[in-house]
Structure 1
Amino acid sequence: MPRQNLLMKMKQEISDMVFTLEGRMGMRCLLLSFLLLAAWEAGSGQLHYSVPEEAKHGTFVGRIAQDLGLELAELVPRLFRVASKSRADLLEVNLQNGVLFVNSRIDREELCGRSAECSIHLEVIVDRPLQVFHVEVEVKDINDNPPVFPVTEQRLLIYESRLPDSLFPLEGASDADVGSNSILTYKLSSSEHFALDVKTNSDDNKQIGLLLRKSLDREEVSEHNLFLTATDGGKPELTGAVQLLVTVLDVNDNAPSFEQSEYEVRIFENADNGTTLIRLNASDRDEGANGAISYSFNSLVSPTVIDRFIIDPSTGEVAIQGNLDFEQVNLYKIRIDATDKGHPPMVGHCTVLVKVLDNNDNVPQIALTSLSLPVREDAQFGTVIALISVSDLDAGVNGHVTCSLTPHVPFKLVSTFKNYYSLVLDSALDRESVSAYELVVTARDGGSPSLWATASVSVEVADVNDNAPAFAQPEYTVFVKENNPPGCHIFTVSARDADAQENALVSYSLVERRVGERALSSYVSVHAESGKVYALQPLDHEELELLQFQVSARDAGVPPLGSNVTLQVFVLDENDNVPALLASRAGGSGGAVSELVPRSVGAGHVVTKVRAVDADSGYNAWLSYELQPAAGGARSPFRVGLYTGEISTTRALDEADAPLQRLLVLVKDHGEPALSATATVLVSLVESGQAPKASSRALAGAADPKAALVDVNVYLIVAICAVSSLLVLTLLLYTALRCSAPPTEVACGPGKATLVCSSAVGSWSYSQQRRQRVCSGEGPPKTDLMAFSPSLQPNPVVAGLSEQQDSNEDHCDREILDDLKLEWCIVLHLKVAQGPLED
């Protein structure tokens, strides 16, 4: 018995022993059984089982899950399945108990024909992770086929002149079984004239013939009726029989004879039609017509022989007339008769064995199974992508197949078992570089010349969320005019993601933070899909010059990835604020100021000064003053400084001037269009002795002007000292924080609030009470000092830049005024107005 059969039998007997003795002998028997099973597994390269053919449905074959070391609970989750190249429905596995059983009728003769060994090769495939096991199930033969003769009746013509011991060949029976079940013994019914002759030829086939033991007498018995019985070696025995009808002929008493009873011929399967296999030569001792021989195929030869070969009746030359195929039939047994022309004719017999030699005429075949596609780009090295099996119908080296993979890709072929390969991952994948691979598997046999076949495998790389959305630049600068309509579109951010599908689906959102006392989301919003940024409310340059915030782009992957971009939104000023008059002496728009002027003053005497501010910035806040013509066209003795607002006399006053002068001052900015306000100044002309008293009454009974001026100077000095101390302290704290903390990503530019003071050389005005500046850090709001010179050309773009501020630092110290309240600026303004700024 072969080693595999012995191992299978041992395993089956051990399993039966375990179940029989489990209750009797306990753990000792179980331990012994497991040791024997381990010894069996160590001696075999794969699982082997055996099952008799014609077994009923449900017949136990083996505990395949247990023998493979798999847990029953993981069979279903891991997609346990059994595949077979041929007749996959013959065997099945119960996923509940892991038992391999017979699923449908197994006919060994149908499955393997006359092959001595017959087995079913199973591929056991387990996914998650992918594993492949190979199982051989041997199909054992049972004696289910009786011997069969090719015909139910054989007729023999025997001349009465034939001598005893003459042999007449008979066609034997065939048995579809194998082994001892196909070993046939023959028995002939009793006869005094005939006996059965059985010989074994070179290929272990039995040649049977009818042996003449006693001379025939046609006149006594002209026909003999015999029965030939064939019995196989199975248990129980099966038999088959054929009737032999022997007709005794008279006359010609010498039959043709061949030099050999059997001839052997070898021919390649690719031999051309008409190729001569052999030339037979039979001889006959008779003369004349009784010695003339013709050759023919025996009447019992199969139709396949007649289709493939032809014999010349005159020469005995056997030639090919059809295509030979080693893979279909590799051996032909041709029975040839040599018949003389006597009356009656006599026949001689021989057998020609034609052995067909293999030629490399079959291209290898490639089969792809269990494709694990697509492959994630983060798959680990060694991940099994596909299972590949190759086969070749040729024999020997012509059927030896090797596989290769092209082109040079991050995959490789690994041989697993005989003609089975696994396509595995050999290096890292990157979908963004290569999203799919077209692989070509080439199978080449060992013939000369070799034949090859290819199979294409498309491996798609599945995306993994490994790329965050990316903006074209880290920061964008946006300019928006103030007083925009609510909900207007101010900018569009766009980020691209190199991933695919939902991993590349980008959504946008604001990075929420506080802008002063309010949330950022109350100022702007961003559309989640388009990335459009909208201003939710009108922006006010006087309230907010710079709005700096971040927009986040995040993809829809798991886990999601994101990145941020910074937007700096500069709010551009528009001329939307009317100049406002300052101080109680000037009053508001439409108010009046009373001033007492002695008639004795000369030209150039400063009567008063009109002070105004504009909340805008730049040229929109640059103010000019004009004196409106008096009613009636009379020429006024007063004038107003174009940029200073100082009202002074143009000439010496005389008695002809009206005692009450009503001056209308127009204050106008330089915006487009310009906005203006008016101030009314009532100038009373009095005698020189009345001027101080009137002036004192105009000041509402206030204390001595010199004392008031001293008070103002004291307040100014205190304010300057306080601000200077605060500035020094702030610089020290700022330096300490910069040295101790890492630099932040967002930088804030200086705020731009404007203080404009008037002088003979230029105009300076405080533009607003409080200018709030927004940046990524928190800090106190600041005011700023802006200077304009009458000699400069109007330019609304550069009017607010720091260069113009630096050109007038002789009149106002920007560092000192940085944190001044509105009141302090007014005090400073009053102080500067009392004397020339050049001093």
Structure 2
Amino acid sequence: MAVFRRDSLVTRQLLRLVLLHTAWEVGSAQVRYSVPEESKHGTFVGRLAQDLGLEVAELVSRMFRMVSSGRRDYFEVNLRNGVLFVNSQLDREELCGQSPLCAIDLEVIVDKPLRIFHVDVEIQDINDNAPVFPVNELNLFISESRLPGSCFPLDGASDADIGRSSQLTYKLSSNEFFTLDVQKKNDKSKSPELVLRKSLDREEIPLHNLLLTATDWGKPELTGTVQLVITVLDVNDNVPVFSQSVYEVSLTENTTVGELVIKLNATDLDEGINKDIAYSFNTLIVPEVKDTFRIDSHTGEIRIKGELDFEGTKLYEIQVRATDEGHAPMVGHCKILIEVLDVNDNAPELSVTSLSLPVPEDAPPGTVVALIGVSDRDSGDNGRVTCSIPPDLPFRLVSTFKNYHSLVLAEAVDRERVSEYKIVVTARDEGAPSLSASSSILVAISDVNDNAPAFPQPVYTVFVKENNPPGAHLLTVSASDPDLRENAFVSYSVVERSVGEQPLSSYISVHSESGHIYALQPLDYEELQVLQFQVSARDAGLPSLCGNVTVQLFVLDANDNAPAVSPAGSVRGSPGPELIRAMDADSGYNAWLRYEVQEPGAAGPFQVGVYSGEISTTRALEEADGPSQRLVILVKDHGEPSLSATATVGLSLVESPQAVKWDSRPRGGSEGPLVDMNVSLMIAICSVSGLFVLVIVVYVGLRCRPGPEVMCGPGKATVVCASEVGSWSYSQRQSRNLCVGEGTAKNDLMVFSPNFPNSTANGKKEIQQTLTPNSSGQHVKSLRAEYMNALQPSMSLYRVTPGDPSVPALSLRNVCLVLLSSPLDHTSS
């Protein structure tokens, strides 16, 4: 039956709504029920789900559970209808003894969201214990000399029930000599006394048998009896008498063994041995008193024999007898009430009754981690306990009900920063001195996938020489993830895109576990100089996270293409010049071609330009030279190893006037087109060269400012090439026709002309080459390179030393070349 039941249904419903609303607001509520003791299994207690405002259909999904405060599971809830019922039989006397209030505290916990409810079930006493006397038969010895009105104290009965069920009335069987009187000594004790109503005559009736009945006030009434056997004694007719009938003593529970409790004194009006008194405990005294106290039979001193414990027994009631040593011993009685006072001798006790571990690192503040119960067996301030945890922790304690505290999350946690917390919960009472106890709770933080894989660098750069074997290992990328288990398991893949007309996956592949990057086919520098792509690292979490890194793959040129010769000759029989045209698909040194006559002795009056491929005369031609000449020209590159090709050139000699006429009036009848073309070409070359010299002068002036020294000097001519990917684009050569006959021979001029970079505006010595599409559709990334610091004629080549500290980004792949075979002559051509 719920304690909040009211007479009218409307009142009960309104009160229930108020209580449920309050419970919902504060997150914790209290419901009280009562049930009689000795209730059998299945006895209805109350509609718990309804009274707590919970839906019966949600009890299972919300993980409904009930925790008893340190006792057996006396109650259980039917999850189908939400009814609280008795699970095992209850015995109030076993649970609470003589305590006036007996209740079992229950904690009801549900999730989604987490709610905690507190339920008290009061155990009602029923009259299930009959009064019990210490013995079934009590022997009394009464002298015949005792006068009517004499009283003889009797040991009363005890009833384990409480309230009216423990209140007793006594009744003595009918007789003419004795009557019964119940004396209430104080609020703590009352006992029956046998009163002599008529003088005894041992010769007439030496023995009296009476029945003493004790009846409680319960419903139904229960009774207990004791047989009184009264023996009538003769002669010694004075009883030892104590100064008080009841003595009250207070002792603290820490009183030492051997300490004096009280010294009794009884007197006897008789003479001789009839007044000698011996003190003793009543023969019916309980063993607990015998184990705790002892009495000196001669002096009447009562001392402590064992340890006192307030939490075990708070009050001792001791019956003491004073017996004279007469022929018919007379006995006097008194009662001693010893009250034990509490001291703070019990430290608090901690118990963790519910744990929600581990705690996910994305758990919101307010998440309940553990339910902690505290108790102290002491009373008053000695039993009042406060709980605390160390500061600077992302947790806090919240008092929920009585001596229960919830350990809740106070702020967000990060497993990658702290993976677990050792929380020491300290309980301290308010006694003097204060006592404390502590318990450690290890709170583990579980991982969630909140960190994406990360690479140690944003860009990987790798240089690969062309014609690599298929399946060659290019480089390894590696990403790390600070999460755990599958959240930290990283797999690699290539971000697919198109490279020209082919997919990226046809060029390279990435091992999903190791991050090794392999080339799937040989790379050809002449088709692809730079391959830039992205590698993705993805973890196995749910949902998965990923990180990307850029890989720049630079293909280095190899000398795998021989020069290709395509001759351009004059009309047979005319004095036109002969020019050998050659092209090498490689770049840099591998594409730098050299021309020479294969058999110099058979060249006659002719020579070939070493770098231009122009065939010119070394002297004036004579008739002795013959009408025709055949030259074998060898063209080879500067690669390692060098590749070469040959071309055979046939030369026919004509008369001088024709040569002059041919030179001044080429075929087609126009006025000097060849001369005009050469003049225009030389003007353009001179303009470019002048502009270039001006740039170099400005550059040298900037270099003369204080700063790192530039190491440069004369040496063997070295080709220096400027290109981000380590080589040029195809070498573009400037070619002119030469007259073979009279006139001044043209000076050889060869210019390797890649795209010249522009000088930077901030004066720094660097050149920026803009991304330009090449034959494969790829873009060459801009690159900074240190340029040449001087220009001189007469076949001198200039270079910047790669190890020069003033050129931090220079390599042998980053150079640019201009070659002059002799000083420019504006009057020639």
Q: What's the TM-score once normalised by structure 1's chain length?
A: 0.80
The residue that corresponds to 2:139 in the other structure is 155
CA contact under 8 A between 1:273 and 1:323: conserved in structure 2?
Answer: yes
Q: CA deviation at 1:315?
A: 0.7
Distance 1:382 1:788, change over 3 A: farther
Q: 1:634-688 deviations in whole A, cap 9, x for unaligned? A: 6744322211112233344556556554322111101111111111123345677
SS in structure 2 at match of 1:363: coil
The reply to whether residue 503 of structure 1 matches residue 487 of structure 2 is: yes
Matched, 1:52 2:36: yes
Change (3 A) 1:652 1:10: closer
Are positions 1:774 and 2:778 aligned together? yes
Q: Does 1:617 align with 2:593?
A: no
Change (3 A) 1:798 1:174: closer
Corresponding position: 1:627 with 2:631: no
For 2:470, what is the secondary structure of its paired residue?
coil
Task: Check 1:85–1:776 CA distance in 2 against 1; reply closer, same or farther (3 A cut).
Answer: farther
Show the counterpart of 2:769. Answer: none
Whether 1:330 aligns to 2:314 is: yes
TM-score (norm 2): 0.81
**Greater CA drift, 401-410 or 680-689:** 680-689
Q: Distance in 2 between matches of 1:143 and 1:494?
A: 80
Report the counterpart of residue 13 of structure 2 in structure 1: 34
- Give the letter for the 1:65 counterpart: A
**Residue 149 of structure 1: how far off its partner (Å):** 1.4
Q: Distance in 2 between matches of 1:708 and 1:360?
A: 127
**Equivalent in the alignment of 2:156:** 172
State the match for 1:136 in structure 2. 120
**What runs of 5+ residues in structure 2 fail to find an aligned partner?**
24-28, 685-723, 736-746, 756-772, 782-790, 803-809
Give the percent of matched residue pairs that are identical in Structure 1 and Structure 2.
Answer: 59
Alpha-carbon deviation of 1:312? 0.8
Contact 1:546 1:773 in 2 (8 A): no
Equivalent residue number for residue 73 of structure 1? 57
1:165-193: CA deviation from partner (whole Å, max 9, x where unpaired): 21112111111111111111111111111
Partner in structure 1 of residue 617 of structure 2: 649
> Does the CA contact (< 8 Å) of 2:166 and 2:217 recur in 1?
yes
C-alpha distance in structure 2 between counterparts of 1:180 and 1:168, whole Å: 27
Give 2:630's match in structure 1, choosing from 643, 662, 683: 662
Contact 2:726 2:813 (8 Å CA) reproduced: no
Alpha-carbon distance between aligned partners in 2 of 1:765 and 1:437, rounded to the nearest angstrom? 71
Of the candidates 745, 754, 763, which is equivalent to residue 730 of structure 2? 754
Structure with the bigger percentage of helix? 1
User: What is the CA distance between 1:430 and its match in structure 2?
Assistant: 2.6
- Determine the structure 2 residue equivalent to 1:638: 606
| 3-state SS in 1 of match to 2:388 | strand
Partner residue in 1 for 2:698: none
Output aligned runs, 1:528-547, within 5 Å: 528-547=512-531
Query: Aligned with 1:441: secondary structure?
Result: strand
Cα 1:439/1:32, change in 2 over 3 Å? closer
Q: What amino acid sits opposite 1:640 in the alignment?
A: V
Residues 727, 813 of structure 2: 8 Å contact kept: no
Q: Distance in 2 between matches of 1:74 and 1:313?
A: 72
Among 731, 742, 750, the alignment partner of 1:763 is: 750
- C-alpha distance in 1 between matches for 2:151 and 2:813: 133
SS in 1 for 2:486: helix
Deviations 1:246-278 (A, max 9, x none): 111222111111011110110010111000000
Aligned to 2:740: none
> Which residue in 1 is equivalent to 2:806?
none
Q: What per-residue deviation string (whole Å, max 9, x for no partner) do you get for residues 793-831 of structure 1?
A: 7999867646437x89x99xxxxxxxxxxxxxxxxxxxx
| 2:451 aligned to which of 467, 474, 484 | 467
1:573-592 to 2 correspondences below 5 Å:
573-583=557-567, 585=569
User: For 1:408-465, what per-residue CA distance to the aligned partner results, in whole angstroms no more than 9, with x for missing partners?
Assistant: 2122112122211122222232333222222211111011000001111222223333
Distance in 2 of aligned mates of 1:634 and 1:528 = 65
Residue 361 (structure 2) pairs with residue 388 (structure 1): no
List aligned pairs for 1:305-704, cutoff 5 A: 305-583=289-567, 585=569, 596=573, 607-629=577-599, 636-654=604-622, 657=625, 661-684=629-652, 704=668
Structure 1 distance, partners of 2:813, 2:252, is 103
Contact 1:577 1:616 in 2 (8 A): yes
Quick check: 1:184 aligned with 2:168?
yes
Equivalent-residue separation in structure 1 for 2:21 and 2:560 (angstroms): 96
Corresponding residue for residue 797 of structure 2: 792
Give the direction of change, closer, same or farther, for the CA distance of 1:97–1:626 in structure 2 (3 Å limit): same
Tell me if structure 2 keeps the 8 A contact 1:594–1:683.
no
CA contact 1:580–1:613 (8 Å) conserved in 2: yes
Deviation (angstroms), 1:580: 0.7
C-alpha distance 407-798 of structure 1, shift in aligned 2 (>3 A): closer
Which residue number in structure 2 is paired with residue 63 of structure 1? 47
Q: Mean Cα displacement is larger for which, 646-655 or 351-360?
A: 646-655
Deviations 1:340-371 (A, max 9, x none): 11112111111111111101000001111222
Aligned partners of 2:16, 2:584: CA distance in 1, in Å? 102
Distance between the aligned counterparts of 1:552 and 1:837, measured in 2? 64
The two structures, once aligned, show a CA RMSD in angstroms of: 3.6
CA distance in 2, matches of 1:563, 1:462: 23
Residue pair 1:548, 1:775 contacting (<8 A) in 2 also: no
Q: CA deviation at 1:772?
A: 3.0
- Alpha-carbon distance change, 42 to 153 in structure 1, aligned in 2, over 3 angstroms: farther
- CA shift at 1:838, angstroms? 8.2
Amino acid at match of 1:677: A
> Deviation string for 1:572-630 (max 9, x for gaps)?
11111111112565xxxxxxx996577xxxxxxx8412110111111111000121127
Secondary structure of 2:412's aligned partner: coil
Match of 1:120 among 91, 104, 120: 104
C-alpha distance in 2 between matches for 1:470 and 1:379: 25
State the Cα distance separating 1:767 from its structure 2 match: 10
- The 3 A distance-change label for structure 1 pair 668 and 272 is same
Q: Deviations over 1:308-333 (max 9, x none)?
A: 11111111000001111110111111
**SS across alignment from 1:502:** helix
What secondary structure is seen at the aligned counterpart in 1 of 2:298?
coil
2:483, 2:254 → 1: CA distance?
57
The Cα of 1:472 is off from its aligned counterpart by 2.3
Q: What SS does the corresponding residue of 1:397 show, helix, strand or coil?
A: helix
| Paired position in structure 2 for 1:83 | 67
SS at match of 1:609: coil
User: Does structure 1 residue 290 correspond to structure 2 residue 303?
Assistant: no
How many matched pairs?
734
Partner AA of 1:425 in structure 2:
L
Pairwise mapping of residues 235-254 of structure 1 onto structure 2 (< 5 A)?
Answer: 235-254=219-238
Match of residue 301 from structure 1? 285
CA contact (8 A) 1:294 1:339 kept: yes
Q: 1:78 aligns to what SS in structure 2?
A: coil
The residue identity in structure 2 corresponding to 1:791 is S
Per-residue deviation, residues 80-115 of structure 1 (Å, max 9, x unmatched): 111112434211100110000111111111111122
Give, as a single letter, the amino acid of the residue that structure 1 aligns with 2:240: P
Change (3 A) 1:646 1:447: same
- Residue by residue, what CA displacement relative to the aligned partner does 1:523-568 show, whole Å, maximum 9, x if unpaired? 2222222222222211111111111122222333333333322222
CA change 1:313–1:41 in 2 (3 A) is: farther
2-structure distance, mates of 1:377, 1:526: 33
Shift of residue 306 of structure 1? 0.6
Deviation per CA, 1:679-729: give whole Å up to 9, x if none. Answer: 112334567799999x99xxxxx9648699689979x99xx9xxxxxxxxx
Structure 2 CA distance for partners of 1:348 and 1:799, relative to 1, 3 Å: closer
| Whole-angstrom CA distance in 2 between matches of 1:444 and 1:318 | 37
Distance in 1 separating the partners of 2:121 and 2:113: 25
